[in-house]
Amino acid sequence: MRVFILHTGGSGLDKIVTWLAEKTGIKEVAVMKSPDGFLERVERDRPEMVFIRIGNSEIPGLGVAQMVTAMDRNIRIVFVAEEKDYALDAYEVGAYGYLLCPIEREKFELLF
């Protein structure tokens, strides 16, 4: 499985990367900070799952997710947020999952 992450950094990102590295079925994990670079990579390499940080002014997460869905509806989108406020919007975009920071391992594991 190929997993791409759009995130600007922090403890949530560190946990996700560490936990993904422990999974045997993960072939590639790529972290990007730029929405444009992220979308280019998604279009070119078609990951099976993406994690997108929302609620951060640097990343227009919901818009990026809509673009990912337009490229390929089979890509599982997981949002990472500091608050629940974006949950409804996330599911309207077609989210596969929604993780609140601080991210709990048990909730992360439910995605796989």
Query: Using CA atoms, how far apart are residues 88 and 13, in angstroms rounded to an integer?
Result: 22
CA separation for the pair 60, 44 (Å, rounded): 20
pLDDT in tens, 37-86: 999 999 999 999 999 999 877 778 899 999 999 999 999 999 999 888 88
Residues 6+ apart with CB under 8 A from 7: 13, 16, 31, 33, 51, 52, 53, 59, 80
Can you list the domains of the chain with their CATH numbers? 2-104 (3.40.50.2300)
pLDDT at 5 over 90: yes
Query: pLDDT tens-digit profile of 62-75?
Result: 999 999 999 999 99
